[in-house]
Amino acid sequence: MSEPYKRVALIGLGLIASSMFWAMRRIGTQTHVSGYARSAETRETARRIGLCDTVCETLPEVVRDADLIVLAVPVGAMGAVAKEMAPYLKPGATVTDVGSVKQTVIDAVGPHLPDTVHFVPGHPMAGTEHSGPESGFDSLFDNRWTLIVPPSGTDEEAVQRLEAYWQGLGAMTERMEIEHHDLVCAVVSHIPHLIAYTMVGVADDLSRVSDQEVIKFSAAGFRDFTRIAASDPTMWRDVFLTNKDATIEMLGRFTEELFALQRAIRTGDGEQLHAYFTRTRAIRRGILEAGQDTDAPDFGRTKVK
């Protein structure tokens, strides 16, 4: 890996930031990594597990002299963080983020940054349902996409440096326009999470299904909903509130499809159901062929002993 940044600052020390640090260490980069989290408990945990070369107590301290600053906090907090850190940014530095919404982040962060720094938004399409500084691991980004979403007029060299950085961590990169990014992520990430939260909530509300039965029989599809629904609630609250338009548009399309399936079931239209399920099955095959999941039995899960 080329080393486009000598000093990297990670703001927010959860799954993504901690995985970035471990990935940098896996490939042997000598980049100095400083980290900061708002919670004193999180900072103490980071020090205990050796996460980051330096764990800082303040935002000004963590960004000072950094060549790359990574905003890895919930999207709803990024504007306030940008405002606080802006006076301390080194000229020529690059600021990026890892949020799954882009237009709102650009609107919130961009106005606070001085003209002397580059703002290159990003979005690693990788994650698990776990959160916190101890959830990270060095292979999280391997063979996964990181989307680079530069606003119009962004310095080309700064974009290329960030792409090289993510590729060094094991990711594949692709540039995407802002509006298109938010629409795509509403389809592949935001709506699936909303459906999972809803399905788990429905099960919780059904008084005729006891907690014991939900747990006992969760080897069926419900279990996979619970994995997604276990994701960080603060992060996903902010995602839905900040990607409102795209989420509502995709939710409307989902509702139309659901009504069509409901009608097919009610009228006994087996041909429509079979054709629909055949088409969706092909999408699963495409995901496997693209190397974005495994066809191992039970999705390759590690068995709990």
Segment 4-50, tens digit of pLDDT: 799 999 999 999 999 999 999 998 888 999 999 999 999 999 999 99
Task: Tell me what pLDDT residue 208 has.
Answer: 56
pTM: 0.77
Whether residue 68 contacts residue 35, with contact meaning beta carbons closer than 8 Å, is answered with no
The amino acid occupying position 153 is: G
Is the per-residue pLDDT at 298 higher than 70? no
User: What three-state secondary structure class fits 178?
Assistant: helix
Alpha helices by DSSP H, listed for the chain, are 15-26, 40-49, 59-63, 78-85, 103-109, 156-168, 178-185, 191-205, 211-216, 222-229, 233-242, 244-267, 270-289
Beta strand 68-71 with 145-148 is unpaired
Is the per-residue pLDDT at 244 higher than 80? yes
How confident is the prediction for the chain on average, in pLDDT? 86
For 237, the token pair is 């609250």
pLDDT tier at 216, thresholds 50, 70, 90: low
Distances (CA, A) of 270 to 114, 257, 266, 267, 281: 60, 16, 10, 9, 16
What is the distance between the terminal CA atoms of the chain, rounded to a whole angstrom? Answer: 38
Sequence-distant (≥ 6) Cβ neighbours of residue 116 within 8 angstroms: 89, 91, 92
Sequence-distant (≥ 6) Cβ neighbours of residue 108 within 8 angstroms: 75, 78, 79, 82
Give the number of C-alpha atoms closer than 13 A to the C-alpha of residue 303, restricted to the C-beta side. 3
Whether residue 21 contacts residue 77, with contact meaning beta carbons closer than 8 Å, is answered with no
Is the per-residue pLDDT at 1 higher than 50? no
Task: Tell me what pLDDT residue 293 has.
Answer: 62
Residues forming a β-bridge with 147: 123, 174
Q: What is the pLDDT of residues 133-182, one digit of tens each?
A: 999 999 999 999 999 999 999 999 999 999 999 999 999 999 999 999 98
Q: What is the pLDDT of residues 96-146, one digit of tens each?
A: 999 989 999 999 999 999 999 999 999 998 877 788 999 999 999 999 999
Share of the chain above pLDDT 90, in %: 55
Secondary structure (H, E, C), 198-262: HHHHHHHHCCCCCHHHHHHCCCCCHHHHHHHHCCCHHHHHHHHHHCHHHHHHHHHHHHHHHHHHH
User: What three-state secondary structure class fits 70?
Assistant: strand
**Quick count: other Cβ atoms within 10 Å of Cβ 30?**
7
Domains of the chain: 7-176 (3.40.50.720), 180-300 (1.10.3660.10)
Length of the chain: 305
